[in-house]
C-alpha cells in the first residue's frame, strides 16, 4: 500500500538563510545581495511549488519474486531486527522544476540554484 501526502508551501517554514545553506552548504554565509536574492526567490517559489511525496512500507517477508517485488540487499548489511523496507519519492512539483530549468538555460545559474534550494 502506498500513501501519498501533499503539503502546502505555506506550511513549510523556509528562510533566506535556509535557501543559502541548502544551495551553498552548511558553512556558506550569503552576503546582503545574495540574501535579498534568496528572499525574492522564496516569494517566487511560493507561487510555483507543489511539494508532495509518496511512500510505501513493505514487510521483509512479502518481498521476493513470488510476491512480485524483489530487492537485493547485501546479506552482511541485514539486521536481524529488520522488519520493513520503506521507499519514498518526493517532488517539488513540475512548475518549479520547469522554472529552474528555464533559469539554467538562460545562464542564470545562481537564481536556478536558489530556486531549487527554496
**Does position 48 have pLDDT exceeding 80, yes or no?**
yes
Q: What is the pTM of this model?
A: 0.59
Architecture field, domain 2-66+84-117: 3-Layer(aba) Sandwich (3.40)
Q: Spell out the residues 6+ positions from residue 30 whose beta carbon is closer than 8 angstroms to its own.
A: 16, 17, 20, 24, 38
Give the mean pLDDT of 90-103. 90
Cα of 89 vs its chain's centroid, Å: 9
pLDDT-based confidence at residue 1 (cuts at 50, 70, 90): low
Separation of alpha carbons 34 and 86, rounded Å: 38
Separation of alpha carbons 78 and 102, rounded Å: 43
CB 106 within 8 A of CB 33: no
Cα of 98 vs its chain's centroid, Å: 15
Amino acid at each position: 500500500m502506498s500513501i501519498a501526502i501533499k503539503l502546502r508551501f505555506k506550511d513549510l517554514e523556509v528562510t533566506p538563510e535556509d535557501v543559502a545553506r541548502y544551495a551553498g552548504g552548511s558553512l556558506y554565509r550569503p552576503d546582503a545581495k545574495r540574501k535579498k536574492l534568496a528572499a525574492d526567490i522564496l516569494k517566487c517559489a511560493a507561487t510555483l511549488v507543489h511539494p508532495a511525496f509518496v511512500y510505501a512500507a513493505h514487510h521483509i517477508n512479502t518481498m521476493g519474486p513470488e510476491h512480485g517485488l524483489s530487492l537485493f540487499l547485501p546479506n552482511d548489511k541485514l539486521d536481524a531486527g529488520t522488519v520493513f523496507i520503506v521507499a519514498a519519492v518526493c517532488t517539488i512539483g513540475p512548475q518549479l522544476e520547469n522554472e529552474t530549468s528555464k533559469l539554467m538555460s538562460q545562464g542564470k545559474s545562481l537564481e536556478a540554484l536558489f530556486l531549487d534550494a527554496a
